[in-house]
Amino acid sequence: MKLTILGSSSALPTSERFPSAHVLNAHERLFLIDCGEGTQMQLRKKRIRFGKINHVFISHLHGDHVFGLYGFLSTLNLMGRKAPLSLYAPEMYGSILRSHLGDFDINLGYEIDFFPLYGNDPVLVLDDKYITVTAIPLIHRVPSFGFLFREKQKDRNIIKDRIIEFGIPVERIPAIKKGEDYLRDDGTIIRNEDLTLPPDEQLSYAYCSDTRFCPRLSTFVKDVTMLYHEATFDKDKTELAAATFHSTTLDAAKVAEKAGAKTLLIGHFSSRYRKIEPLVDEARTIFPRTFPAIDGKSYEITNNTIDY
């Protein structure tokens, strides 16, 4: 998995930070998460192919997370897209989108498969060959959802030398990688653990923005490889964060610590902060493996220790 930050600002963009938008590359498929103003420009700068994006996830219906979507959908149409686009967003967005397309006389040449998000419990919204995606309820002024992307259990790794040693036919290899023992023609059983190594550890990514501090969130993203959690304010703005249903640096760090996350990425920074290093330093007092989301930067999601 690889994550590219297209925007890390909160409501007001700055000269260096665009509103919220991420692209997750999972098994060479691209998932767009939120689509603030300027997303198209950032996609161009990073040379990310629009046509490879088949799933768009919108966390909530505030402008800094959705205003870029209208232009993006129109651009896909102008580019001649024919493949359906899956769109996951709070349920009321269905009527808003239909109204927008009608008001601006936009006739899309492709279908939008709309998946409404609602409720107060995690819901599985995508389940394919490689990953699952779960929508997670957050606490904000309007219905808001996070998204947990988790790889499915991978096959075991077959030891190549064993293939030659035991003369294993090619057609038997898939079953062995799934965990089966190998039965030889003479009736001898070769145990699977003698033929394979454990599978690579599953990777996962959780996107959580916007939300007030939510203690139970850590249970939803337990043991996540990389957690992105908004940190709109520093620790001195605790009351403001609560009043606006946002989180502080320490709130984000507490969720990461309780969840047992491997890495914490903070973002959605208020425009009042010209330098974000102090915000990162604050979060690190609780969760040392904290890094800033920086516009235009890509992050490898890995279980190995990497200094971003």
Token representation of residue 117: 């998000």
Rg (CA), the chain: 22
Check residue 13 and give left, alpha or beta (phi > 0: left; psi -120 to 50: alpha): beta
Q: How far apart are CA 205 and CA 227, in angstroms?
A: 6
Residue type for position 214: C
**DSSP element (H, E) containing 218:** helix 217-220
Angle, helices 249-259/277-284, rounded to nearest 10 degrees = 40
What are the residue ranges of helices labelled H in the chain? Answer: 39-45, 63-78, 93-103, 160-166, 173-177, 217-220, 238-243, 249-259, 277-284
Let me know if 251 is a catalytic residue: no
Catalytic residue among 34, 64, 234, 295: 64
Number of C-beta neighbours around residue 126 at 10 A: 17
Q: How far apart are CA 70 and CA 277, in angstroms?
A: 33
Helix (H, G, I), strand (E, B) or coil at 114: strand
| Catalytic residue ranges | 64
